Amino acid sequence: MKTKYSLDELKNYHNEAIRFLGSELMLMKEAVQLIDEDRLSKASVILRSGGLNTGAAIIELSNQIEYFESVVLMLSRSFLEAITNFCYVVVCDEKDYRAFILHPVYKHFHKVRNPSMEDDFNLLFENIAKRQEKQNRLKEVPIVQEALSLFSEKNPNMNWSKKTLDQRISIIQDRAKIFGCFFAILKFQYYSDASELLHGSLYGYLNNYGTFDPNLDISKDEEYSKKSYKNNTVILLHLGFLLHDVMTLISHSTNIKQLWEHSNKNMGFASQLLTLVLEREPLTKEIREYFEKTMIK
């Protein structure tokens, strides 16, 4: 990876990308507080924790990107999944929506059988009996019975949806009336590498250091730093674009017109910054008009 920019220039672009994502997170925080539609409101728990909190952590760690590049990539994977699940829950069918609601009940049912570090291990068998009794009492609760009928009384490791991430993204693109391409971009560009890091594979860490990039001399500290700042700038911009798509989805049922317009102005700036950092030619008039027409406002 070669770049025509100096390290100082890349640091300036990186700071602007942090400001962009920070602004989108603040706008999203305000938008979530205005949600009153029932399904969006229940799904917003994911958005608040998995989106807003994870996004804030990504910004904090991005301020020290030369130390936390791999961690930011792993958190970006989590961010993508949380945002994808939120959007999917908003547009999925009633069966999957009900599964989304009941999955925590099913998981709690199985968790009550698990031993805890707070247990007195001298009373091991008594504790096991108490946990079994608690689980039996739970089985008498109607909503627990419904959850177990939908999932399993024996298997504690079922996912709430049988749809893969790719399938969920495809359904979002079909039904959500948003631009939607950034879900696929983030999935294909970052998800696999982030998963390798998350699972501690040798490839994950070697790839993150730039070992497999023939154009990068990782023995030179400045070249490695340039890679870190450039790559993280692009990630931050893509995550911000994803939040704008979510703002658009929320705007279909919640009056957030001013917030959405502010976000849309941010998008114009961030798109120019992305083109600049990637050293690409500006979009032609025809392509710009195409994107403007396909953006659902």
Residue 125 inside a domain? The answer is yes
144 and 14 fall within a common domain: no
138 and 274 fall within a common domain: no
198 and 284 fall within a common domain: yes
41 and 126 fall within a common domain: no
Of how many residues is the chain composed? 297
Q: What pLDDT is recorded for position 297? A: 37
122 and 215 fall within a common domain: no
Q: What average pLDDT does this structure show over 221-248?
A: 92
For the stretch 4-21, pLDDT in tens is 889 999 999 999 999 999
125 and 250 fall within a common domain: no
86 and 188 fall within a common domain: yes
Residue 155 inside a domain? The answer is no
Tally Cβ neighbours within 10 Å of residue 18. Answer: 20
For the stretch 130-188, pLDDT in tens is 888 999 999 999 999 999 999 999 999 999 999 999 999 999 988 888 876 777 777 87
Tell me the residue type at 245: D
At how many degrees (to 10) do helices 65-91 and 94-111 cross?
120
Burial category of 212 from C-beta neighbours within 10 Å (exposed 0-12, middle 13-18, buried 19 and up): exposed
Residue 38 inside a domain? The answer is yes
Residue 187 inside a domain? The answer is yes
271 and 225 fall within a common domain: yes
Residue 2 inside a domain? The answer is no
For the stretch 22-68, pLDDT in tens is 999 999 999 999 998 999 999 999 998 888 999 999 999 999 999 99
238 and 140 fall within a common domain: no
Residue 60 inside a domain? The answer is yes
Average model confidence (pLDDT) for the chain? 87
For the stretch 196-219, pLDDT in tens is 888 888 888 888 777 777 677 666
Residue that wins the pLDDT comparison between 221 and 120: 221
Coil, strand or helix: which one is 285? helix
> By C-alpha distance, which of 258, 267, 262 is closest to 288?
267
Burial category of 283 from C-beta neighbours within 10 Å (exposed 0-12, middle 13-18, buried 19 and up): middle
Residue 156 inside a domain? The answer is no
Q: What are 120's two structure tokens?
A: 């007195």
Q: What pLDDT is recorded for position 287? A: 55
204 and 146 fall within a common domain: no
Structural domain including 210 reads 7-92+164-294
Which residue has tokens 């250091």? 209
75 and 185 fall within a common domain: yes
Averaging pLDDT over each range in 60-74, 115-129, 282-296, which range is the top one? Answer: 60-74
Q: How confident is the model at residue 283 (pLDDT cuts 50, 70, 90)?
A: low
Task: State the total domains in the chain.
Answer: 2
Residue 68 inside a domain? The answer is yes
168 and 274 fall within a common domain: yes
3-state percent breakdown (helix, strand, coil) of the chain, nearest 5: 75, 0, 25
Is the pLDDT reported for residue 261 higher than 70?
A: yes
Asked whether 179 and 294 are in contact (CB, 8 A), the reply is yes
Cα 205 from Cα 23, distance rounded (Å): 31
